[in-house]
A and B are shown apart, each in its own frame.
Chain A
Amino acid sequence: MKRLDAGEAAAAAGLLAAIVALWWLASHQQWVSKVFLPTPEAAWASLIDGLAGGDLGGFTLATVGRMLVGWLCASVLGIALGALIGSSAAARAWLLPTLEFIRPLPASALLPLAIALFGLSPVMVLAVVSFGAMWPVLLNTVHGFATVHPRLGEVARGLQIPPGAFAVKFGLPNALPDILAGMRLALTVALIVTVVGEMIASQAGLGHAILLAARSFRAADLFAGVLLLGLIGLVSNSLLAAAEHRLLRWQRP
């Protein structure tokens, strides 16, 4: 990653400040109706009030919790199933076309089916988050395990290493970059499905909160919620990028 020098950092901060200033001007001059666009200070006040005394803190925790639990379930399931399928050429030949077929299906399209199966419960949202987020992890893990060099397999057979140990000692390290890339995509999917799930199943959380704010024309609260969702995306993505950087250090020359 390149380092910015002082002038460039100032320019970067300047552009951001200019955009906030434009927002301030547009809302105060009523270029855009206040119904849609709150003033920056109103959105900020709503954010601080909501976090200090209101429900916003609780909603944020609920959304983050749902996203993380769903993502962890998705990662564990995806890696386990992916390792099983990826290790066997026969399993890949029979199953992979079906898995590839389901890949483009929007995870949120499973919400109606899940509502019919489980009702409007928290478990339902969690199930769809896990299932939707599992897909990128699963397919990337299969790919990572499938691309272990065939000679390594021959060596392992020669050394009579059992298949389980082979998967852990040869497959997993080979698949790690793919798995981590899949997990990063899965985190994005998990956040999106969590928000949509909260919206349509009326589960307490930021997704439901911003929908209610929009329905009652509370633009400041709406923007505060969107800011928090952006922050969740930013923080989770950066943390995972840092983890990826550390975990893959051994691969770089």
Chain B
Amino acid sequence: MVELAPPHARHAVIPRWVARLRPWAVPALLLVVLEWYARTIASQSDAIAPPSAALLAFARAASDGSLATATAFTLRAAALGLVVGALLAVPLGLLLGLSRRAAASSFLTVELLRPIPSVALIPIAMLVFGFGLRMELAIVAFATFWPLLVLTQSAVRQLEPQLLEVAAALQLSPRKRTLSIVLPAIMPRLFVALRQGVAIALVVSVTVEIGANPNGMGYALMLSQQSLDPAGILAWLAWIGVLGFAINALALRLQRALARRMGESAP
């Protein structure tokens, strides 16, 4: 009745190849069930397609170039938006982190503007920029700006006070103090913030394309729905999922590698 073995001892019994394959079991099962369901019960459906048909649709999109075009558009908008958001947020976050007066006086404005949902700006960006890269970029920049601002500010706040004392003792100019003491010291935390920014940028760019902007992967997904092409919906959805997962995993690896190189244990 009572198990005396500690919980971790039970895991050791499982052979390594089972452990290796285990993460794939559920997705494989789901794909098989979906394939069977779409071919038998839902064979007339406008919404459900077998995964094999989605794979064909994916191959078609890859060979006619629409896959590359849409993917490049979305990734470009996400990346440029993140860069713009970071270039605005990081200097401001440094300022708010270093100066208590600046933080206190901007506190109210930041707290009022930050909760505006990024998608609420889609119509404004449409009016100002029309459709295309710039409106999407602007919304991604807005969406990534706030978390980057807050995280940069808190990274500066959590600096060792001794570092700032050293800077004061050396009588460094504010510019020199920021560039050669503060910025290197917050680098590992800054990369964590940027990694989160990558995830937000991807989600927001696809969302803008689904909501309004007739470009990129989100629009390709909408187009598949409008042309009653369930295989296309499934193919684009899976591609967005795989790409998002791969980019996030890559960003995490990069961030950890950089943190290790800078002599910090990975947070």
Contacts and interface: CB of A to CB of B under 8 A. Distances in A.
A112 B227 CA distance: 11
User: Among B48, B202, B241, which residue has the most Cβ atoms of chain A within 10 A?
Assistant: B241
A213 B127 CA distance: 10
B122 A199 contact: yes
A21 interface: no
A150 B10 CA distance: 13
A83 interface: no
Nearest to A98: B26
Contacts of A89: 7, 10-11
**Chain A interface, DSSP helix/strand/loop, else mixed:** helix
A82 interface: no
Interface string A20-53: 0000000000000001100000000000000000
Given A195-B117, A196-B211, A104 B203 contact: yes
Contacts of A196: 119, 207, 210-211
A199 B211 contact: yes
Interface residues of B, number: 62
**Chain B interface, DSSP helix/strand/loop, else mixed:** helix
Interface in B190-211: 199, 202-203, 206-207, 210-211
Size band of the A side of the interface?
35 or more
Contacts of B36: none
Contact of B203 (A106, A112, A229): A106
B113 A230 contact: yes
User: Among A105, A117, A191, A217, which residue has the most Cβ atoms of chain B within 10 A?
Assistant: A105
A109 B105 contact: no
A251 to B, nearest CB: 21
B127 A219 contact: yes
A53 B209 CA distance: 34
9 contacts: A101-B245, A109-B206, A109-B207, A113-B234, A157-B2, A195-B119, A207-B119, A211-B122, A214-B123
Interface of A: 4, 8, 11-16, 19, 35-36, 89, 93-95, 97-98, 101-102, 104-106, 108-113, 115-117, 150, 153, 157-158, 188, 191-192, 195-196, 199-200, 206-207, 210-211, 213-215, 217, 219, 222-223, 225-226, 229-230, 233-234, 237
Given A106-B206, A226-B121, 8 more contacts: A97-B23, A97-B24, A98-B26, A104-B248, A108-B210, A188-B117, A196-B210, A223-B124
